[in-house]
Amino acid sequence: MPPVPTAPEPLDPSSVAAGERPAGHPDLPVREPAAAELARTATRSAEDALAPPPGDLPVAPATTAGGAAPAARVRLGDVVPAPERVAPVAGADFVLTPDTVIRVSPDDDARAAAGQLADLLRPATGYPLPVGDDTRAGTGGDIVLALVDSADLGPEGYRLDVTSDGVRVEAATGAGLFFGVQTLRQLLPAAVESPTPAAERWVLPGGSITDRPRFPYRGAMLDVARHFFGVPDVLRVIDHLARYKLNHLHLHLTDDQGWRIAVDSWPRLAEVGGAGEVGGGPGGHYSRDDYRRIVAYAAERHVTVVPEIDLPGHTHAALTAYGELAPEGVAPPPYTGTEVGFSYVDPTSERTYEFVADVLGEIAALTPGPWLHIGGDEAFKVRPEAYAAFVERAQRIVAATGRTVVGWHQIAPAAHSGGRVLQWWGTDGEDRVTADAVRRGARLVLSPANHAYLDMKYAPDTPIGHDWAGLIDVRRAYDWDPGTHVAGVPADAVLGVEAPLWTESVTSRAEVEFMLFPRLPAIAELGWSPRATHDWAGFRGRLAGHGPRWAAAGVAFHRSPEIPWPTEPPASAAPQAAIPTQPEPPAPAAVPRQPGPEEASAPAPPA
425 scored as a contact of ligand TNX (CB under 6 A): yes
Q: SS3 string of 284-353?
A: CCECHHHHHHHHHHHHHCCCEEEEEEEECECCHHHHHHCHHHCCCCCCCCCCCCCCCCCCECCCCCHHHH
Quote the least distance from Cβ 591 to ligand TNX, whole Å: 16
229 scored as a contact of ligand TNX (CB under 6 A): no
CA angle, corner 431, sides to 428 and 436, nearest 5? 155
For ligand TNX, the closer of residues 425 and 478 by Cβ is 425
User: Which residue in 179, 408, 514, 528 binds ligand TNX (CB under 6 A)?
Assistant: 408
426 scored as a contact of ligand TNX (CB under 6 A): no
Q: How far apart are CA 169 and CA 144, in angstroms?
A: 6
Q: Is 378 a catalytic residue?
A: yes
339 scored as a contact of ligand TNX (CB under 6 A): no
User: Which residue in 48, 142, 211, 377 binds ligand TNX (CB under 6 A)?
Assistant: 377
Quote the least distance from Cβ 305 to ligand TNX, whole Å: 18
User: Which residue in 8, 11, 19, 23 binds ligand TNX (CB under 6 A)?
Assistant: 23
φ, ψ for residue 425 (rounded to 5)? -125, 20
Q: Shortest Cβ contact with ligand TNX: which residue?
A: 23
Count the site residues for ligand TNX by CB under 6 A: 12
Query: Coil, strand or helix: which one is 86?
Result: strand
For ligand TNX, the closer of residues 63 and 336 by Cβ is 336
Q: Name residues whose C-beta falls within 8 Å of residue 469's C-beta, 6 or more positions apart in sequence.
A: 21, 427, 449, 450, 453, 456
Residue-wise over 240-264: b if at least 16 C-beta within 10 A, else e?
bbbbbbbbbbbbbbbbbbbbbbbbe
Q: Name residues whose C-beta falls within 8 Å of residue 569's C-beta, 6 or more positions apart in sequence.
A: 69, 70
The interface mask with ligand TNX, positions 444-483, x = CB under 6 A, is ---------x-x----------x-----------------
The Cβ-side half-sphere exposure at 205, using a 13 Å CA radius, reads 19
24 scored as a contact of ligand TNX (CB under 6 A): yes
For ligand TNX, the closer of residues 343 and 508 by Cβ is 343
Q: How far apart are CA 223 and CA 23, in angstroms?
A: 14
Q: For residue 120, how far is the Cα from the chain centroid? A: 21
User: Which residue in 502, 528, 550, 557 binds ligand TNX (CB under 6 A)?
Assistant: 502
Q: How far apart are CA 275 and CA 604, in angstroms?
A: 14
For ligand TNX, the closer of residues 125 and 447 by Cβ is 447
499 scored as a contact of ligand TNX (CB under 6 A): no
For ligand TNX, the closer of residues 17 and 491 by Cβ is 17
Q: How far apart are CA 421 and CA 281, in angstroms?
A: 34
Of the residues 308, 362, 378, 498, only one is catalytic, namely 378
58 scored as a contact of ligand TNX (CB under 6 A): no
In one-letter notation, the amino acid at residue 227 is H
212 scored as a contact of ligand TNX (CB under 6 A): no
200 scored as a contact of ligand TNX (CB under 6 A): no
233 scored as a contact of ligand TNX (CB under 6 A): no
User: 513 with 464: CB under 8 angstroms?
Assistant: no
Active site residues: 378
Interacting residues with ligand TNX (CB under 6 A)? 23-24, 340, 377-378, 408, 425, 453, 455, 466, 502, 504
